[in-house]
Amino acid sequence: MLDNTEKIRIGLFIFILFSSMFYIFYRVSFDNEDFPYTKKGVLNYQSLTFSENGKLLLKGEWEFYWNHFYFPQDFIIGNEYSLLGREFIDFPRSWEKIYSRSQTNQTNSSFGYATYRLRITGLSKRIKYSLMVPSINSSYTLWINGERMLNSGMPGVNSKLSIDDGRPGSVSFSTDSGKASIVLHVSNFSHRRGGPLQYMFLGRDTEVASFIADKTIFAGMGIIFSLLMAVFLIFLDVNYRMYFKETFLILLFFALAVRISVSDSLLLLRLFPNISWEVIQKLKYISTYCIGPLLLLVEMEQYKKESSTVAGYSLAGVFLILVTIIIFSTRYFYSSLNYLFDIYELICFIYIGYLLFYAIRSKKDLYLLNTTGVFLFFVLFINIRLFIEGFLPSGKVSISAVMNIIFNDQYYTQSYTPIFIFLSFLPYLSIFIFYIFSKIDYIILFQKENISEITPDKSELFEKLKLTEREVKIVEALIKGYSNMEIAEKCFISVGTAKNHLSHIYRKTNCSSRSKLIKLFIGHDNT
């Protein structure tokens, strides 16, 4: 028979599960395949229905010139078809898997430079447009209608002439001809994956500005939730004598706040404009790969008997080596070790799964909440890694898209309604609710522990009633308000055994209920 606390836990779990499912189907259902796509480097924007939506992703085939820098003036009508190396590739796409007509074999290196070009027709002469450019490895320059609009770092033909700084940006423009020509220079000589890995986003100026503002708010809310959780846990440590048992969980939530601050919204850059791009990248990697080991330490603290101290702390200690590598090595080196880092992170989660398996099998305290929290953090890590690797550029229904939909605050959708604002907060809110609820349980137990013990003069009553040592402990727990399950956990016995002991106690004391038994031992009823 479930007690009220367990019923609330299960009810909360079911609510979050169904809310998440609704969230997923809602987001996927608005991936409209009928939106215009770029074909052979040309996009007809007029086919977009403004009454329904005024923005879109610049999907499809872009003109591409590998290891060539061509400027807007080079694309003169009649001359553009004579430019060397012209081909069409999907945008975005990593340079690791580009087939070039000028080469007999596939290009295996991400090092190089290239020119992208897109022509857009069907634009209105009376509307001001905005183009949102994502982070691009590792530097880029953007022209619109011959005018240089955006520069991040310095694209060059070799590593000496290139300056890395691929931060995102947005520009506004208008056109008198109803057409726009976008020319993009990109170079990469420092990262394992070169080129653009995310979509550009085009729309009317006001709508794009609103979209960017909403993304910033979403990221800010994620940071606020994470910091609130960290502050709440610090409060528990100080006020409820937890003796810093939540240190690792506090660090985990602080790390989550840092990870969100260096996501595509780059809130950290807004707070500290002079921070270097290299520092942002290192923080991004460290805050991503600390999720597994910190979560492992959290679960080891929760389930000490099920865990191996040597194995667990050794595994978590490897993270210090990873941090050292990231801090003191070049971007190309530590980005090349991504898959080794991923394997290590998955090993951490596998060990966590091992601990949770035994916790679930033996029905340890808060096993349901811990399991759900770990699952949410695991999904968060998988999503971040898929996004960094450029595996989540589209909204198509797939396993990758589901991961993207659940936790990605950089998700681009071509439909945007007010309910999406709430749904985007749901994952962060879920973690917040689950952990708050689990710690409220601890506060309740703490309050019970501080209820006055049985007075010394009752020791004679114990002897008179011939209660065993185990029965005395059960009476003490009963007076503190423990349920049968909590009594069983405190005395390391099964719930059935606890009930048998209570039956013996009732018979020895001639009490027919818990209230009478409690009154007997706290001095309110000595009959």
Around Cβ 57, how many Cβ atoms within 10 Å?
Answer: 24
CA distance 163 to 138: 8
Q: Which residues contact 260 (CB under 8 A, 6 or more apart)?
A: 219, 222, 223, 226, 267, 409
Q: Do domains 42-199 and 208-446 have the same CATH topology?
A: no
Instruction: Give pLDDT tens digits along the chain (527 positions).
Output: 445 555 555 666 666 666 656 555 554 444 444 556 788 888 887 765 543 455 677 878 899 999 999 999 888 766 666 788 888 888 888 887 665 444 444 444 688 999 999 999 888 888 899 998 988 888 999 999 999 999 999 999 998 999 998 888 899 999 888 899 999 999 999 888 888 888 888 888 888 888 788 778 777 877 888 888 888 878 777 776 555 567 888 898 899 889 888 877 678 888 888 888 889 989 999 999 999 999 898 888 877 777 777 888 888 889 999 999 999 998 888 888 888 999 999 999 999 988 888 877 776 666 766 777 787 788 778 777 776 666 655 433 344 444 444 444 444 444 444 444 445 555 556 656 666 666 665 565 555 555 444 455 556 666 677 778 788 888 878 777 677 877 887 777 877 888 888 888 888 888 877 777 777 776 544 44
Question: What CATH number does the domain located at 208-446 have?
Answer: 1.20.1070
Topology annotation, domain 42-199 = Jelly Rolls (2.60.120)
pLDDT score for 119: 92
pLDDT score for 457: 54
Q: What is the 3-state secondary structure (H, E, C) of 384-441?
A: HHHHHCCCCCCCCCCHHHHHHHHHCCCCCCCCCCCHHHHHHHHHHHHHHHHHHHHHHH
* DSSP string across 484-509: HHHHHHHHT--HHHHHHHHHHHHHHH
pLDDT score for 330: 87
Around Cβ 112, how many Cβ atoms within 10 Å?
Answer: 19
Here the tokens at position 107 are 């290009």
Question: What CATH number does the domain located at 456-522 have?
Answer: 1.10.10.10
pTM: 0.71
CA distance 155 to 141: 7
Where b means 16+ CB within 10 Å and e means fewer, 167-204 reads bbbbbebebeeeebbbbbbbbbbbbbbbbbbbbbbbbb
The answer to whether the CB of 254 falls within 8 A of the CB of 246 is no
CA dihedral over 490, 496, 502, 508, signed as positive or negative: negative
CA distance 229 to 256: 11
Helix (H) or strand (E) holding 109: none
- Distance (Å) of CA 415 to CA 24, 26, 77: 14, 11, 36
The answer to whether the CB of 237 falls within 8 A of the CB of 246 is yes
CA distance 107 to 87: 14
What radius of gyration, in Å, describes the C-alpha atoms of the chain?
30
Here the tokens at position 330 are 């070049």
- How many residues comprise the chain? 527
Q: Write down the domain spans for the chain.
A: 42-199, 208-446, 456-522
Place of tokens 């080794």: 340
